[in-house]
Amino acid sequence: MSDNLNTNQNDNDLSIPIKAAADARDVVALVDLIDPLPRSEALRELLHLSVEDRVLVLSLVPAELAAQLVEEAPSETAADLVEGLTAIRAAEIMDELDSDVQADLIGDLDEDNAEAILSEMDVEDAADVRRLVTYDDDTAGGLMVAEAFSFSDTQTVGKVLRDLASDDDDFERYRGQHPYIVDEDGKPVGVVSLRGLLTSKRSDLLTSIMTPPLTVPVDMPLFNLEDLFDEHAFLGIPVVEADGKLVGVVSRAAVSAAALERSESESLKRQGVVGDELRSMPTWLRSRRRLAWLSANIVLNILAASVISAYEETLLAVIAIAVFLPMVSDMSGCSGNQAVGVTMRELSLGLVRPSDAFRVWLKEVSVGIINGIALGILIGIVAWIWKGSPALGLVIGLALALNTILAVSIGGVVPLLLKRVGQDPAVASGPLLTTITDMAGFFFVLSLAALMMPWLV
Amino acid sequence: MSDNLNTNQNDNDLSIPIKAAADARDVVALVDLIDPLPRSEALRELLHLSVEDRVLVLSLVPAELAAQLVEEAPSETAADLVEGLTAIRAAEIMDELDSDVQADLIGDLDEDNAEAILSEMDVEDAADVRRLVTYDDDTAGGLMVAEAFSFSDTQTVGKVLRDLASDDDDFERYRGQHPYIVDEDGKPVGVVSLRGLLTSKRSDLLTSIMTPPLTVPVDMPLFNLEDLFDEHAFLGIPVVEADGKLVGVVSRAAVSAAALERSESESLKRQGVVGDELRSMPTWLRSRRRLAWLSANIVLNILAASVISAYEETLLAVIAIAVFLPMVSDMSGCSGNQAVGVTMRELSLGLVRPSDAFRVWLKEVSVGIINGIALGILIGIVAWIWKGSPALGLVIGLALALNTILAVSIGGVVPLLLKRVGQDPAVASGPLLTTITDMAGFFFVLSLAALMMPWLV
């Protein structure tokens, strides 16, 4: 188990003194309370306050600290925080954020709010943001910062060294970027290394020491960007529009953060939580979102239950079967979900594609046969001993064995098929699998029981 | 849906020509086939081959390419690949990897294999690896590289600039690191910025331009490292032993990669896949691991089913109830899992701690009451219409409402309680929740039915 320093220390609740300092408009006390905390912990305390108090705190503390808290917050929470502020204050906080974070935030606000804030921002920054929000989130355009460390093809090594050495405020924004050289049309034509800069004369033209740059199109998806950063040690890659113009730089850090966010959101969706819920959101919203998914699930459950309904007579004759119906369907559901989990992982690692469905099925069915036989024997013995009927043991064991094989076959393949037809496998695989394994489980148990009736009663 | 370039292109199977080239020992053809592929895709093709053929390919291609494939592979697969090679060849491949990757790999090999490879490696590298494997995986020590870009406190700016400009092979290893200054005891005393280097004279002592460094202890856990990199723009942070000595540097990239891996492995564990299975592993191993989790699950299922067994008479009297038993338990299980999902997310974001259990429960129970009433009414109406009995509708609806409230209460809190007692919430929350909601669901339906018997028959 990871032993977590933050979890052990400092378990007293700071939200009460924070609220008191905010109510007293005591900025010094507020900063003293919040600033020493790791940002995740400061955010946690903030979210313990009411919505009004959160906004009050963000209005009082220095814009840089407020910006760090907004940046730390999950996207919807961040949007809620910013929507409570005045447009002028929101714009001050925006100024402290990178352009990719600005664009994500603006994209999450309602249109009037977004316009009000943009109109208070620096004109150039606002123009960058207006452009960035047009790109899809999980593409190079959506992940890049608009600020590139670029030089024209007529400039010299000395110019870059002067820029690097200047204490320009913008300097920090280029951290991790190499100097990119663009031609008169704004197209990147080269990149220079630090080593190149240090081993050249200050009067040398940048074009004399540059190497051709790797660039990516604005619409390159996250998945491919992950691959590129895996293969190359670059900290950033320049991004170009369809016309070849340099429009920004996507960093390794932005790609990693997006990959982590995607992984966490997929794992939530698999449990039926769509839309990145946090408990600091309003109850009715959380309730409504969860209900939407559950209501769809009720329909699937009715479908499965109708199988039991069709066999009520069989059940009446051998009521002990009712004890094992949920067991068989639940156990196969678990087996199937294991196969779903492995396929989802292999999809996210890029190790399988929809076209691999048959290969996956072959691999899965062999595990299904082994585990089906093992689990079938196990549960068969349990049923035999518990209810004193070898025939019942045979029915239940055989049903679980068959349903396990079916469940892992479907579980392994269903995410690939969903992806092929353009559905999100993280959302739909689980409910689809469970419905099929429930129906099939009930059917196997009850139809085998109907067949074996003379030996069961 | 993310539209995936890699998924659409190049769907023909390259593993056949790769095998042919390997069999013919045609290294040029092999490199021509593999090198142009993104590394994840090259690995995917490699894993389509038999274990012997995979090893053959890795023996033939240049060590650098082999190293990239080994690095791309999930850890257990990487270990399997390396174990098939001769120790000399494995050491050649090791030489191309960073020390943190070397240590991860060596740690995954069996001891004899590991020793054989270490004895073929560069003596200094081997010593680094022997030290690195002693640290826990998800700590600064486990994630750092042993190579630090360090200088003594008697050296000058000119020395650093010369080192930066040299085309030393080691240079690439320091990418993203700042020059760290260590005193005669090996303790870091300062760090210098690129800007500081460029604005100083070559003869200036490094100590004259350095600022105090942020350092982390070797045992700092991943969670805290994520916080630190969130708060600071650093690309790397120096790592010190208990005695204050500089022993390595942990990079932002290594921390992000570890966070992503942890997130994916947690999401697998929640589905009952423990130990990062891939389909390229041997069937018996995959089967055995999955069975271990499923067998534990069978015991929990028997516990839940025993509730049904206790009420067989009630069931016999109103057999229609059997249709709704799995529905009630399954629906509540889903509701509870949503709450588990949200808590797991808030845990991983650092927004809740075990001590917040009561606060979480309050937030969860309000959603539970709303959703319980909504779902209860819905399923109650379904049961009434389907089986033509208002009393049955009341029993089923009430049971689902009560069980939903219970399920979200438990689901929200159980991961926190498990964490408090030192258990892994990702593994145990699901089975524990399902068992409780199954038992309670069966109990609510059957005991309410027993109470309402006069109106049901």
Record: contact B351-A227, CB cut-off 8 A: no
Pick among B168, B175, B211, B267 to test the A interface (most A CBs inside 10 A): B267
Record: contact A287-B367, CB cut-off 8 A: yes
Domain assignment present for residue A145? The answer is no
pLDDT of residue B175: 62
Q: Closest partner residue to B263 among A172, A260, A355, by Cβ? A: A260
**Is A220 strand, coil or helix?**
coil
Mean pLDDT in residue range A350-361: 88
Structure ipTM? 0.80
CA distance B279 to chain A (A): 7
Pick among B14, B172, B290, B419 to test the A interface (most A CBs inside 10 A): B290
Mean pLDDT in residue range A260-278: 80
Residue A5 has pLDDT above 70, yes or no: no
* C-alpha span between A119 and A114 (Å, rounded): 9
**What are the chain B neighbours of A331 within 8 Å (beta carbons)?**
294, 297-298, 301
Task: Mark which residues 248-267 of B lie under 8 Å from A by CB.
Answer: 252-253, 256-257, 259-260, 263-264, 266-267
* C-alpha span between B282 and B299 (Å, rounded): 27
Record: contact B330-A438, CB cut-off 8 A: yes
B70 contacts B93 by C-beta, under 8 angstroms: yes
Regarding whether B338 and B204 lie in a shared domain, the answer is no
A433 — pLDDT class (breaks 50, 70, 90)? very high
A176 — pLDDT class (breaks 50, 70, 90)? low
The secondary structure element, H or E, covering residue A417 is helix A390-420
* C-alpha span between B285 and B287 (Å, rounded): 5
* C-alpha span between A336 and A270 (Å, rounded): 13
Return averaged pLDDT per consecutive 10 residues of chain B, 457 residues in all. 39 82 94 89 89 93 94 86 93 92 91 93 91 91 89 92 70 68 94 83 92 94 88 86 93 89 83 76 85 87 92 92 93 92 84 89 93 95 94 96 96 93 86 92 96 89
CA distance A128 to chain B (A): 22
**What are the chain B neighbours of A231 within 8 Å (beta carbons)?**
38-39, 68
Domain assignment present for residue A334? The answer is yes
Based on its alpha-carbon atoms, the radius of gyration of chain A, rounded to whole angstroms, reads: 29
CA distance B33 to chain A (A): 17
Query: Which carries the bigger pLDDT value, residue A262 or residue B366?
Result: B366
Q: Tell which of A233, A249, A270 closes a domain.
A: A270
Instruction: Name the residue in chain B with its Cα closest to that of A297.
Output: B331
pLDDT of residue A285: 85
Regarding whether A292 and A238 lie in a shared domain, the answer is no
Which residue in the block uniquely carries the two structure tokens 């999955």?
B290
Regarding whether A308 and A230 lie in a shared domain, the answer is no
Query: Concatenated DSSP letters for B140-167?
Result: HHHH-BS---EEETT-BHHHHHHHHHS-
CA distance B314 to chain A (A): 10
Regarding whether A327 and A223 lie in a shared domain, the answer is no
Q: What is the dihedral of CA A228, A231, A235, A240, to 10 degrees?
A: -30
Instruction: Name the residue in chain B with its Cα closest to that of A306.
Output: B323
CA distance A395 to chain B (A): 17
Region of residue B109 (phi > 0: left; psi between -120 and 50: alpha; otherwise: beta): beta
pLDDT of residue B199: 82
CATH at A122: 1.25.60.10
* C-alpha span between A98 and A146 (Å, rounded): 9
Q: Chain A to chain B, count of Cβ pairs less than 8 Å apart?
A: 376
Record: contact B165-A199, CB cut-off 8 A: yes
Regarding whether A44 and A124 lie in a shared domain, the answer is yes
Helix ranges (DSSP H) in B1-110: 5-8, 15-23, 27-34, 39-47, 51-60, 63-72, 75-84, 87-94, 99-108
Query: Which carries the bigger pLDDT value, residue A146 or residue A280?
Result: A146
Residue A15 CA to its chain's centroid (Å):
29
Task: Mark which residues 327-346 of A lie under 8 Å from B by CB.
Answer: 327, 329-331, 334-335, 337-338, 340-342, 344-346
CA distance B226 to chain A (A): 10
Residue A3 has pLDDT above 50, yes or no: no
Percent of chain A exceeding pLDDT 90 equals: 57
Torsion sign (Cα): A416, A418, A421, A424: negative
Residue A124 has pLDDT above 80, yes or no: yes
For residue A301, give Cα distances in angstroms to A187, B109, B245, B332, B372: 57, 46, 61, 12, 16
Pick among B8, B35, B101, B271 to test the A interface (most A CBs inside 10 A): B271
Q: Closest partner residue to B340 among A41, A271, A374, by Cβ? A: A271
Closest by Cα among B135, B80, B207, B267 to A271: B267
Regarding whether A287 and A190 lie in a shared domain, the answer is no
Regarding whether A324 and A242 lie in a shared domain, the answer is no
Q: Closest partner residue to B379 among A194, A298, A382, by Cβ? A: A298
pLDDT of residue A177: 75
CATH at A296: 1.10.357.20
CA distance A236 to chain B (A): 11
**Interface membership of B367 toward A (CB under 8 Å):** yes
**Is A352 strand, coil or helix?**
coil
Which residue in the block uniquely carries the two structure tokens 């270490």?
B118
The secondary structure element, H or E, covering residue A404 is helix A390-420
**Interface membership of B379 toward A (CB under 8 Å):** yes
**Is B216 strand, coil or helix?**
strand
The secondary structure element, H or E, covering residue A27 is helix A27-34
Instruction: Give A438's DSSP letter.
Output: H
Residue A416 has pLDDT above 50, yes or no: yes
Q: Closest partner residue to A371 among B165, B290, B422, by Cβ? A: B290
Q: Tell which of A246, A270, A294 closes a domain.
A: A270
* C-alpha span between A72 and B241 (Å, rounded): 30
Task: Mark which residues 158-177 of A lie under 8 Å from B by CB.
Answer: 161, 164-167, 171-172, 175-176
A129 — pLDDT class (breaks 50, 70, 90)? very high
User: In this structure, what token pair is assigned to residue B101?
Assistant: 């990757």
Record: contact B327-A301, CB cut-off 8 A: yes
Regarding whether A202 and A56 lie in a shared domain, the answer is no
Domain assignment present for residue A143? The answer is no
Supply the mean pLDDT for chain A.
88
* C-alpha span between A261 and B146 (Å, rounded): 29
Record: contact A2-B346, CB cut-off 8 A: no
**Interface membership of B201 toward A (CB under 8 Å):** no
Domain assignment present for residue B211? The answer is yes
The pLDDT tens digits for B248-285 are: 999 888 899 898 888 888 888 887 777 678 787 888 88
**Interface membership of B281 toward A (CB under 8 Å):** no
Domain span at B323: 283-456
CA distance B75 to chain A (A): 12
CATH at A215: 3.10.580.10
Regarding whether A204 and A231 lie in a shared domain, the answer is yes
Regarding whether A173 and A70 lie in a shared domain, the answer is no
**What are the chain A neighbours of B311 within 8 Å (beta carbons)?**
none
**What are the chain B neighbours of A271 within 8 Å (beta carbons)?**
270, 337-338, 340-341
Q: Closest partner residue to A279 among B164, B346, B422, by Cβ? A: B346
Closest by Cα among A407, A403, A427 to A415: A427
Record: contact B164-A195, CB cut-off 8 A: yes
Of A6-10, A295-299, B442-446, minimum mean pLDDT range: A6-10
Domain tally for chain A?
A: 3
Regarding whether A339 and A245 lie in a shared domain, the answer is no
Regarding whether A28 and A88 lie in a shared domain, the answer is yes
Q: Tell which of A217, A247, A270 closes a domain.
A: A270
Task: Mark which residues 399-438 of B lie under 8 Å from A by CB.
Answer: 419, 422-424, 434, 438
Record: contact A227-B337, CB cut-off 8 A: no
**Interface membership of A96 toward B (CB under 8 Å):** no
Domain assignment present for residue A17? The answer is yes
